[in-house]
C-alpha cells in the first residue's frame, strides 16, 4: 500500500510538472475516452437488444408457420437453420420428445421449458451442457387445462449473436483507440499552436530578466504577435500595460535616486562652505586671542553670521524633508487668516531690509480669507520678495499684489529685472537650482527659497507658477479661499 501511495504521489508530481499543452491534450483524451466508453456501451447494448428481438421474431415466425400442420398431421417439426426443433408430449408435468425431433444431448433444460409452455408461449435463454447458451421458444400445439398435450419447441444458438456483438465491440475498441490517438496527437499540435503566444510572452519575460535594470529603466521588449483568441489578446495587452507601468515605476525610481544623489551632493556642498568659514574664523580667533585681542570680536561676528546662515539652510532642509514625508504630520497648522495684514507685514519688512529695491503694493480693501498657517504664509511672501531682490540689480522695481476674487486668493510678486531664461523656467523650483549654474553666492542664496515656496503652496492645496521675459518676471500663487 505504501509503495502504491508513493507511486501515485510520484505520478501526480510528474503530471503537475508537465507542460500545460500536454496536460490539456491528455485531459481532452481522458474526456474523449469516457465519452467513447459511454457511446460504445450504449451501442453494444442497443445492438445486443436488437439482435435478441430479431432472433425472438424469427423463432416465433417459424413456429407460427408449423403449428397448423402439426395439429393435423402430427408429423416431425421442420429443421430451421442450425436450430434444435422438437415436439414434446407433456403428461403429468413430464415432457417427452416425440421420435424424429432434433435435440441435443442435454435435453432436460428444453424439457423444463416445454412443461411451462403448456400454459402459453414461453421465451427463455438456457445453457445446454456442451453446446452453450440457446434462445428457446416453446408454444402449445394442442393442450388442455390440465397441462397435458403437445408442445412445439425451437432452440436457436446464441453463439452467432454473441460473436456478432464481440466483433462489434472489437471494431468499436479499435476505432475508438485510433480516434483517441488521433485526437490526442492532433489536440496536442493544435494546443501547442494555440499556446504559442503564451510561450512568446514567457520568452519576453526571460528577455526582461536578462536585462540589467540597475543601469537603465528602459524595457525595450514588449509582447508581440497575433492569434490565440480574445483571451490571449487580452492577456497580451495586460502584459504590455504591466511592462509599461514597471518601466514608468523604474524611471521614477531612477529619477528619484538621481534627485536624491544630487540633493545630497548639493546639501553637502552648501553645508561645507559655512563650516569651512567657521573653521577658518575659529583658527583666526584663536590666533587673535593670543596676538591681536582687538580683532577677536570681528572674528566672533563672522562666526555668528556663518552659523546663522548654516542654521537657515538646515532649517530649510528640515522643512522640505517634513513636507516630503507624506506619512508624517505636515509642519503646518491651518487656521482662518486674512492675507492682507500678512502681506503688509512682509512688505514693511522688505522695505526695511531691502531699501535699494523700491516696492509697490496693491492690496484689496476687503479681507482675503484663507485656511492656512500664517507663519508659513509669511514665509512664502518673504521668500518670493527676497528672490526678486536677490536676482535683480539695485534700483529694480518690485511689486506685491493680492487679489481675492474668483473663489481663490491670488498673490503676485513681480519685478522688472532681466528675467529668467525659458529653459530655466522649468527647473526654477528645483532644489539648489540657480539660474547662473554656479556655486558662488554672488547671485543669491542657497537655491532652496523657491523650493520651499512650492512645497508650502502645494501642502496648502494651491499652485505656484512663473512667467518671465526680459524686463518682467511674475510669480503667481493661487490658494483656495476659505469656505
pLDDT (tens digit per residue) in 316-372: 677 776 666 655 566 778 899 999 999 999 999 999 888 999 999 999 989 999 999
Which three cell numbers mark 402? 493680492
Return all residues near 172 (Cβ < 8 A) that are at least 6 apart: 40, 43, 44
- HEC profile of 99-166: CCCECCCCCHHHHHHHHHHHHCCEEEEEEECCCEEEEEEEEEEEECCCCCEEEEEEEEECHHHHHHHH
For the question of whether the overall pTM of this predicted structure is more than 0.75, the answer is no
CA dihedral for 27, 33, 36, 41, sign (positive or negative): negative
Q: What is the DSSP string of 296-317?
A: HHHHHHHHHHHHHHHHHHHHHH
Q: Say what the pLDDT of residue 92 is.
A: 79
pLDDT of residue 216: 63
43-52, 70-79, 107-116, 423-432: lowest mean pLDDT where?
70-79
* Cα–chain center distance at 401: 53
Identify the three-state secondary structure at position 403.
strand
DSSP class of 6: H
Scanning the structure block, which residue is given the C-alpha cell 547671485?
443
Distances (CA, A) of 165 to 33, 52, 157, 175, 316: 20, 11, 14, 15, 98
For 424-446, letters b (16+ CB in 10 Å) and e give: bbeebbbbbbbbeeeeeeeebbb
Computed over every residue of the chain, the mean pLDDT equals 80
* For residues 181-190, average pLDDT: 81
- Residue pLDDT, tens place only, 55-103: 889 888 888 888 887 877 766 777 777 788 888 888 878 888 888 777 8
CA distance linking residue 253 with residue 249, whole number of Å: 6
Amino acid at each position: 500500500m505504501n509503495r502504491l501511495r508513493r507511486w501515485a504521489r510520484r505520478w501526480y508530481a510528474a503530471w503537475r510538472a508537465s507542460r500545460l499543452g500536454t496536460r490539456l491534450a491528455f485531459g481532452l483524451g481522458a474526456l474523449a475516452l469516457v465519452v467513447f466508453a459511454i457511446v460504445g456501451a450504449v451501442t453494444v447494448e442497443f445492438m445486443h437488444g436488437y439482435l435478441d428481438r430479431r432472433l425472438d421474431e424469427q423463432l416465433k415466425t417459424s413456429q407460427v408457420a408449423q403449428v397448423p400442420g402439426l395439429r393435423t398431421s402430427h408429423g416431425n417439426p421442420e429443421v430451421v437453420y442450425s436450430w434444435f426443433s422438437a415436439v414434446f408430449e407433456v403428461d403429468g408435468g413430464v415432457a417427452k420428445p416425440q421420435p424424429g425431433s432434433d435435440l441435443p444431448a442435454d435435453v432436460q433444460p428444453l424439457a423444463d421449458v416445454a412443461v411451462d409452455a403448456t400454459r402459453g408461449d414461453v421465451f427463455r435463454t438456457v445453457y445446454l451442457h456442451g453446446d452453450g447458451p440457446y434462445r428457446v421458444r416453446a408454444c402449445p400445439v394442442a393442450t388442455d387445462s390440465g397441462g397435458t398435450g403437445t408442445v412445439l419447441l425451437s432452440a436457436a444458438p446464441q453463439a452467432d449473436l454473441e460473436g456478432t456483438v464481440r466483433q462489434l465491440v472489437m471494431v468499436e475498441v479499435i476505432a475508438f483507440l485510433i480516434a483517441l490517438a488521433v485526437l490526442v496527437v492532433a489536440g496536442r499540435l493544435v494546443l501547442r499552436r494555440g499556446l504559442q503566444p503564451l510561450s512568446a510572452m514567457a520568452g519576453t519575460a526571460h528577455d526582461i530578466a536578462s536585462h540589467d535594470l540597475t543601469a537603465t529603466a528602459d524595457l525595450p521588449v514588449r509582447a508581440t504577435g497575433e492569434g490565440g483568441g480574445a483571451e490571449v489578446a487580452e492577456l497580451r495587452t495586460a502584459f504590455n500595460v504591466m511592462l509599461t507601468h514597471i518601466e514608468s515605476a523604474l524611471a521614477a525610481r531612477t529619477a528619484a535616486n538621481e534627485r536624491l544623489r544630487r540633493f545630497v551632493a548639493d546639501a553637502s556642498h552648501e553645508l561645507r562652505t559655512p563650516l569651512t568659514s567657521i573653521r577658518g574664523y575659529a583658527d583666526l580667533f584663536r590666533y587673535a586671542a593670543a596676538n591681536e585681542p582687538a580683532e577677536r570680536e570681528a572674528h566672533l561676528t563672522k562666526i555668528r553670521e556663518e552659523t546663522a546662515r548654516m542654521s537657515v539652510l538646515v532649517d530649510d532642509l528640515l522643512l522640505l524633508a517634513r513636507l516630503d514625508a507624506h506619512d508624517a504630520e505636515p509642519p503646518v497648522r491651518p487656521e482662518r487668516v486674512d492675507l492682507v495684514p500678512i502681506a503688509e507685514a512682509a512688505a514693511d519688512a522688505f522695505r526695511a531690509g531691502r531699501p535699494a529695491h523700491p516696492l509697490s503694493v496693491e492690496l484689496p480693501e476687503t479681507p482675503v480669507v484663507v485656511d492656512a498657517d500664517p507663519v508659513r504664509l509669511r514665509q512664502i511672501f518673504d521668500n518670493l520678495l527676497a528672490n526678486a531682490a536677490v536676482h535683480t540689480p539695485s534700483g529694480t522695481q518690485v511689486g506685491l499684489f493680492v487679489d481675492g476674487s474668483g473663489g481663490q486668493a491670488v498673490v503676485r510678486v513681480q519685478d522688472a529685472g532681466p528675467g529668467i531664461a525659458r529653459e530655466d523656467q522649468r527647473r526654477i523650483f528645483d532644489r539648489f537650482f540657480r539660474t547662473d549654474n554656479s556655486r558662488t553666492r554672488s547671485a543669491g542664496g542657497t537655491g532652496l527659497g523657491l523650493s520651499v515656496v512650492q512645497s508650502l503652496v502645494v501642502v496648502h492645496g494651491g499652485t505656484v507658477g512663473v512667467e518671465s521675459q526680459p524686463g518682467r518676471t511674475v510669480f503667481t500663487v493661487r490658494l483656495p479661499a476659505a469656505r
